[in-house]
Amino acid sequence: MISMKRILLASVFAVAGFGTASAADLTVGFSQIGSESGWRAAETSVSKIEAEKRGIAFKIADAQQKQENQIKAIRGFIAQGVDAIFIAPVVATGWDTVLAEAKEADIPVILLDRTIETADDSLYLTAVTSDTVHEGKVAGEWLAKTVADKDCKVLELQGTVGSSPAINRKKGFEEGIASASNIKIVRSQTGDFTRSKGKEVMEGFLKAENGGKDICALYAHNDDMAVGAIQAIKEAGLKPGKDILVVSVDAVPDIFKAMADGEANATVELTPNMAGPAFDALKEFKDSGKAPPKWIQTESKLFTQADDPMKVYEEKKGLGY
Amino acid sequence: MNTRLLPLYATLLICLIAYAACLIQFPAMFSTRVAGNLLTDNAFLGIAAVGMTFVILSGGIDLSVGSVIAFTGVLLAVLITQHGVHPLVAFAVALAITTAFGAAMGIIIHYLQVPAFIVTLAGMFLARGMCFVMTTDSIPIDHPFYAALQGVFYRLPGGGRLTFIGCLMVAVFVVGMIIAHFSKFGSYIYAIGGNRSSAELMGVPVARTTIGIYAMSGFLSGLSGIVFSLYTSAGYSLATVGVELDAIAAVVIGGTLLTGGVGYVAGTFVGVIIQGLIQTYIVFDGTLSSWWTKIVVGVLLFSFIGLQRVLVVLSLRRSAAPTGG
């Protein structure tokens, strides 16, 4: 009998507690593109962690790479009357109608990781993205600083042809090494952002460049290609990280392992934490009514062998990369 | 009770139970917004599913639907945005092309006696390939006429919107029902799906009807493409991949026999709404993986195919009973 009463009481308290908590806090809906890459899976799990930290109720809808699913999810969030909507848009166009509905319902929209094309930028509160040109620049500047005034021939593994990160990371890197006339990109080809293509193209590079003996560095547009290329360098009988410096972009866990082994030298992080800054901007907007700037740039942090790569690897391992 | 109507009743019942279950958990789902969204968000799927219903009723299949929708969207975007053609002219061009495309597939299926599965699979690759020939980018459509069409909606009490494309889908379903149940063409389709050779012996113009069915599916895919381009205001080559499978699922959940001859257009509507309801539930819940949509649809498909088999066996036994005993 007593235990019965206790359970009843406990459940009453639980219900009451739940009621007040959900009434006080924000509810945010997030229309995520999908989980096509390790990075995106990490973005999803980091977003959940960031929401939990702030006591925000967070609803995620995975669109399976389809815009129609994203539009449906946004309409669903509007119908639920959430306090804000985050979108990682799968394509740049076609959002005006549904965002106008959100605006009409007074629900602020924040874009994560990618932006949209629209004539009316009042349709979204702000966009939190990384500057991919800046990422390349950070990598280039690191190399310029590391080799100092020594002559340096660089091989470049580009991302998917025509994709904006590939174009921008190339441009940024060239800006980063522009002041160092001793650094020259001697070969540049696409490795399609994949590990296997990275290895294959690197093998070709090394054969064409006299076995890679006069090459001083490799710049890869993402870590996966760098990991593939490291394999190719090893098979060619050279020491990656020493004979050929390796610098890349993304900061996925595997590159930290390579750095811990001394086989990679540096990586520029494309942070999966886009939601954190978005939550902060939203909180401030809700509390003070102050609209954030239209673009919030995330930090492009440089990691080198000096940054305890094994520790970072352990931290990143569980995020779903 | 007519056993043929049983799958339809079952679908309707499942839809109502599902909605009630949603309401118990999320009372906010009882709103005109959700109802309006169900129509608007599933308009392109619903219209394509009407065409698919006729194809399946005749015992065929059309796998080209999703690609044709994307093709239409890209064609419209190229014509309107890059060549300055008026949307109405572009609509007419797109519908003419997709109807002809469907008719051509019908001709091959009938005269060359190639299974519909193969022909429409080829059609699927062809239409998708044509998208990429026209453009690989996502092209926005920014035309006052588009904005005007998107702005046409009736505001329901409670903030919901009865949009133009939502109403268009309902209209297509009504016309579909009339064609299926009150026209000669409709009865020919049921006859061919029931038994092709006896239909031929009864004097059903099989060639004309088959071509007509696939032409109609092509036309409705084109119309669905127009609706989709109004929905997203853009043309994108990779859009609506696999929508034909969603349409087939809606048709089967709606109680139409995959072997043809038995089924109702109205059931397909309920099938579309059930799929939309599952997606809405998942968004409201916010923690479930959206792949649960596929899982639930899969389970529903299995149970409906099972139910249909049981009914077929039962009705065979019943018709055999008088002679047997």
Among A35, A58, A95, A96, pick the best mutation site for testing chain B contact (most B Cβ within 10 A). Answer: A96
Q: Do A79 and B228 touch (CB under 8 A)?
A: no
Q: What is the ipTM of this complex?
A: 0.82
Which residue of chain B is at minimal alpha-carbon distance from A28? B286
pLDDT band at residue A17 using 50, 70 and 90 as cut-offs: very low
Tell me how many degrees the CA angle B308-B7-B256 measures, rounded to the nearest 5.
Answer: 70
Q: Do A93 and B34 touch (CB under 8 A)?
A: no
User: Contact, A319 vs A45, CB < 8 A?
Assistant: yes
The verdict on B239 touching A (C-beta cutoff 8 Å) is: yes
> Does position A2 have pLDDT exceeding 70, yes or no?
no
The verdict on A261 touching B (C-beta cutoff 8 Å) is: no
Ramachandran region, residue B44 (left: φ > 0; alpha: ψ -120 to 50; beta: rest): alpha
> What is the mean pLDDT of the segment spanning A149-156?
94
Please tell me the pTM assigned to this model.
Answer: 0.82
> Does position A58 have pLDDT exceeding 90, yes or no?
yes
Q: Do A61 and B290 touch (CB under 8 A)?
A: yes
Give yes or no: residues A162 and A250 share one domain: yes
Pinpoint the alpha helices (H) of chain A: 2-24, 38-53, 67-80, 96-104, 132-147, 164-176, 195-208, 223-235, 253-260, 275-288, 309-317
- What is the phi/psi pair of residue A301, to 5°? -85, 140
Instruction: For residue range A64-118, list pLDDT tens digits in order.
Output: 888 889 999 999 999 999 999 999 998 888 898 899 999 999 999 999 998 898 8
Distance CA B60, CA B304 (A): 19
- Which pLDDT does position B4 carry in this prediction? 75
User: Contact, B295 vs B278, CB < 8 A?
Assistant: no
Give yes or no: residues A160 and A251 share one domain: yes
> Does position A6 have pLDDT exceeding 80, yes or no?
no
Q: Do B232 and A62 touch (CB under 8 A)?
A: no
Sign of the dihedral through C-alpha B217, B222, B227, B231: positive
Give yes or no: residues A196 and A224 share one domain: yes
Tokens of A184: 């020259």
Residues of B in contact with A67 (CB under 8 A): 232, 236, 239
The verdict on B187 touching A (C-beta cutoff 8 Å) is: no
Beta-carbon contacts of residue B123 (< 8 Å; ≥ 6 apart):
B62, B63, B64, B67, B68, B101, B105
> Does position B96 have pLDDT exceeding 80, yes or no?
yes
Give yes or no: residues A141 and A165 share one domain: yes
Distance CA B306, CA B322 (A): 26
Give yes or no: residues A281 and A238 share one domain: no
Give yes or no: residues A252 and A166 share one domain: yes
Give yes or no: residues A51 and A77 share one domain: yes
B66-70, B90-94, B292-296: least confidently modelled range: B292-296
- Which pLDDT does position B159 carry in this prediction? 81
Q: Do A93 and B138 touch (CB under 8 A)?
A: yes
**Min distance A274 CA to chain B CA atoms (Å):** 19
- What is the phi/psi pair of residue A244, to 5°? -125, 120
Give yes or no: residues A153 and A112 share one domain: no
pLDDT > 90 in chain B, percent: 72
Q: B3-319 domain in CATH 1.10.287?
A: no
Pairing of strands B234-235, B139-140: antiparallel
Instruction: For residue range A224-261, list pLDDT tens digits in order.
Output: 999 999 999 999 999 999 999 999 999 999 999 999 99
The verdict on A75 touching B (C-beta cutoff 8 Å) is: yes
- Which pLDDT does position A12 carry in this prediction? 42
pLDDT band at residue A61 using 50, 70 and 90 as cut-offs: very high
The mean pLDDT value of chain B amounts to 92
- Please measure the distance between the N-terminal and C-terminal CA atoms of chain B and give it in whole angstroms: 22
Residue A297 lies in a domain: no
**Min distance A264 CA to chain B CA atoms (Å):** 36
Q: Look up residue B250 and give its amino acid.
A: A
Beta-carbon contacts of residue A287 (< 8 Å; ≥ 6 apart):
none
Tokens of B221: 């895919």
The verdict on A35 touching B (C-beta cutoff 8 Å) is: no
> Does position A166 have pLDDT exceeding 80, yes or no?
yes
- Which pLDDT does position B322 carry in this prediction? 57
Number of domains in chain A: 2
Instruction: For residue range B154-188, list pLDDT tens digits in order.
Output: 988 888 889 999 999 999 999 999 999 999 999 99
- Which pLDDT does position B317 carry in this prediction? 83
Tokens of A117: 């094309």
The verdict on A117 touching B (C-beta cutoff 8 Å) is: yes
Residues of A in contact with B236 (CB under 8 A): 67, 91, 93-94
- Which pLDDT does position B1 carry in this prediction? 53
Distance CA B310, CA B295 (A): 23
User: Contact, A159 vs A193, CB < 8 A?
Assistant: yes
Give the up-direction half-sphere exposure of residue B11: CA atoms within 13 A in the CB hemisphere: 31
Give yes or no: residues A97 and A198 share one domain: no
Give yes or no: residues A176 and A149 share one domain: yes
Which residue of chain B is at minimal alpha-carbon distance from A92? B138
**Min distance A57 CA to chain B CA atoms (Å):** 9
User: Contact, A144 vs A176, CB < 8 A?
Assistant: yes
> What is the mean pLDDT of the segment spanning B185-199?
94
- Please measure the distance between the N-terminal and C-terminal CA atoms of chain A and give it in whole angstroms: 51
User: Which string of b and e fits A268-292 if b means at least 16 CB within 10 Å?
Assistant: bbbbbbbbbbbbebbeebeeeeeeb
A67-80 and B265-285 helices, crossing angle to 10°:
70
Q: Number of Cβ pairs closer than 8 Å across A and B?
A: 95
Give yes or no: residues A89 and A238 share one domain: no
- Which pLDDT does position A282 carry in this prediction? 96
Q: Do A61 and B283 touch (CB under 8 A)?
A: yes
Domain that holds residue A118: 2-129+272-290
Residues of B in contact with A64 (CB under 8 A): 290-291
The closest of A32, A38, A112 to A296, measured between CA atoms, is: A112
Distance CA B274, CA B253 (A): 9
CATH code where residue A182 lies: 3.40.50.2300
Beta-carbon contacts of residue A120 (< 8 Å; ≥ 6 apart):
A96
The verdict on A63 touching B (C-beta cutoff 8 Å) is: yes
**Min distance B300 CA to chain A CA atoms (Å):** 20
The closest of B222, B175, B204, B227 to B54, measured between CA atoms, is: B175
Residues of B in contact with A69 (CB under 8 A): 279, 290
The closest of A107, A103, A60, A50 to A83, measured between CA atoms, is: A107
pLDDT band at residue B321 using 50, 70 and 90 as cut-offs: low
Give yes or no: residues A59 and A11 share one domain: yes
Tokens of B94: 């797109």
Q: Look up residue A34 and give its amino acid.
A: G
Residue A295 lies in a domain: no
**Min distance B276 CA to chain A CA atoms (Å):** 9
Q: Do A91 and B138 touch (CB under 8 A)?
A: yes
Strands annotated E in chain B: 139-140, 153-155, 161-163, 234-235
Residue A310 lies in a domain: yes
Pairing of strands A266-269, A302-304: antiparallel
Tokens of B81: 């945005």
Tokens of A2: 């007593």
> Does position B226 have pLDDT exceeding 70, yes or no?
yes
User: Contact, B58 vs B235, CB < 8 A?
Assistant: no
- What is the phi/psi pair of residue A284, to 5°? -65, -40
Residues of A in contact with B26 (CB under 8 A): 80
Chain A from 87 to 106: CB within 8 A of any B CB:
91-94, 96-97, 101, 105
Give the up-direction half-sphere exposure of residue B58: CA atoms within 13 A in the CB hemisphere: 32
Residue A145 lies in a domain: yes
Residues of B in contact with A61 (CB under 8 A): 282-283, 286, 290
Using a 10 angstrom Cβ sphere, with 0-12 exposed, 13-18 middle and 19 or more buried, the burial of residue A18 is exposed
